[in-house]
Amino acid sequence: MMNVNIIAIGKLKESYLRDASKEYAKRLSGFCRLNIIELPESRLSDNPSEKEIQNALSNEAKLIEEQINKKSSLNIALCIEGKLLSSGELSAMISDAVVSGNSTINFIIGSSFGLSEKIKSKSHLKLSMSRMTFPHQLARVLLLEQIYRTFQISSGGKYHK
């Protein structure tokens, strides 16, 4: 069974987002081993300088690197400048990853300031959820829904229709 890791900077603060996340985790249990890895968000001042932001992203990158440096994993960074895929295209990509010998897919969600360039460059794909901007906590729930949808598509389930 495939491992799917959601590597996220920060915790889900709202109970309704945690509930939605738990629901999709339960649904995904029949398709994959889902791990949600929450890493601490760097603390910044109310009006951080660019240097403070870059230092925070660098510190967060070190924590992320500890999670993604495995040979048989496919790393997907969620970022606004990433590629837009349909649900069907994402499903095909995940299916291809399995056939190619990837036992783990890591989806990486940064903090409100995004991800460091170092993490983006180590990723096999930069993925955008939309041209619109979403809070990174909501992006996690949207991502879980899309992962569930991709497994439903590949298994011929009715959910996608």
pLDDT value at residue 134: 85
Identify whether the C-beta of residue 144 lies closer than 8 Å to the C-beta of residue 24: yes
Bridge partners of residue 145, in order along the sequence: none
87 is a domain residue: yes
88 is a domain residue: yes
From CA 98, how far away is CA 76, in angstroms rounded?
Answer: 14
Identify whether the C-beta of residue 68 lies closer than 8 Å to the C-beta of residue 111: no
Does position 69 have pLDDT exceeding 90, yes or no? no
160 is a domain residue: no
For range 139-158, the mean pLDDT: 94
Identify whether the C-beta of residue 124 lies closer than 8 Å to the C-beta of residue 74: yes
Q: What CATH number should be reported for the domain holding residue 49?
A: 3.40.1280.10
When the pLDDT of each residue in the chain is averaged and rounded to a whole number, the result is 93
82/135: higher pLDDT: 82
> By CB neighbour count within 10 A (0-12 exposed, 13-18 middle, 19+ buried), where does 19 fall?
exposed
Counting the structural domains of the chain, the total is 1
For range 65-71, the mean pLDDT: 84
71 is a domain residue: yes
31 is a domain residue: yes
136/24: higher pLDDT: 24
- What pLDDT digit, counting tens, does each position of 80-111 carry? 999 999 999 999 999 998 888 888 999 999 99
CA-closest candidate to residue 2, choices 29, 21, 25, 23: 29
- What pLDDT digit, counting tens, does each position of 5-46 carry? 999 999 999 999 999 999 999 999 999 999 999 999 999 988
Give 122's contacts (C-beta < 8 A, 6+ positions apart): 65, 68, 75
pLDDT value at residue 4: 96
14 is a domain residue: yes
Bridge partners of residue 5, in order along the sequence: 35, 106
Q: Give me the domain span that covers residue 90.
A: 3-155
pLDDT value at residue 161: 61
161 is a domain residue: no
Does position 114 have pLDDT exceeding 70, yes or no? yes
30 is a domain residue: yes
For range 55-59, the mean pLDDT: 96
